[in-house]
Amino acid sequence: MRIDIITVLPELLESPLSHSIMKRAQAKGMLEVHVHPLRAYSNLKHNQVDDYQFGGGAGMVMMLEPIVNAIESLQAKVKYDEIIYLTPDGETLNQQMANQLSLKGNLLMLCGHYKGIDQRIRDHFITREISIGDYVLSGGELGAAVLVDAIGRLLPGVLNDETSALFDSFQDNLLAPPVYTRPVDFRGWKVPDVLLSGDHKKIEEWRHQQAVERTQARRPDLL
């Protein structure tokens, strides 16, 4: 999979994409991530990419031409399955969406900034708008990093145990059950006996019941 990201602040994406699982995915050649500074596509003095909004109002708007230049320049080299705009008013990211996007070949992400982008970009280029939650960030870079991570870890061969992702929270509309490791007894706090029983059928039944109970208590909207 190849993911291209257009951003005003490429520096914000350096660390999230250069460590842990995302680093491993790229090192194995399973994921390519290319970050493109939007200012490089500006034809204006000082590489300006924002301007005042028509009709007045507080805040600047990301300009049409630099974004069009960036998108069309990249489209000339790569055929994208989706052009995604990271924005607070997009559809809320969930596990099913990450699953779907992980099956794509090439994705282009545009990070919003300021008061957002000129609407004509959304009308003519964007195929999907995604939010990572009902709150506003300073820009779409952190949202893009979250989306890349959510997608990238699902690619075959990225995780050491490929079945691990199948049992994550939200995969079956349930939160994950509690997990335990050594020691068995710490300060009198003991691991549930069923997990030490070796009876895999009982263990799976216990885990499922715990997942249902946790979901009912914390996220009943998922049931």
pLDDT digits (tens, 9 = 90+) for 169-203: 676 889 989 999 999 999 999 999 999 999 999 99
Termini Cα distance of the chain: 32
- Mean pLDDT, the chain, integer: 94
Q: Is the pLDDT of residue 167 over 70?
A: no
Cβ atoms of 140 and 19 within 8 Å: the answer is: no
Q: Is the pLDDT of residue 207 over 80?
A: yes
Q: Is the pLDDT of residue 120 over 80?
A: yes
Q: Is the pLDDT of residue 139 over 70?
A: yes
Residue that has been written with the tokens 């030490």 in this structure: 196
**In this predicted structure, what is the pLDDT of residue 90?**
96
pTM of the predicted model over 0.95: no
**In this predicted structure, what is the pLDDT of residue 79?**
98
**In this predicted structure, what is the pLDDT of residue 173?**
86
**In this predicted structure, what is the pLDDT of residue 215?**
94
**In this predicted structure, what is the pLDDT of residue 162?**
57
pLDDT digits (tens, 9 = 90+) for 73-94: 999 999 999 999 999 999 999 9
Which helix (H) or strand (E) is 37 found in, with range?
A: strand 32-37
Instruction: In whole angstroms, give the CA distance from residue 159 to residue 193.
Output: 29
Q: How far out from the chain centre does Cα 102 lie?
A: 10
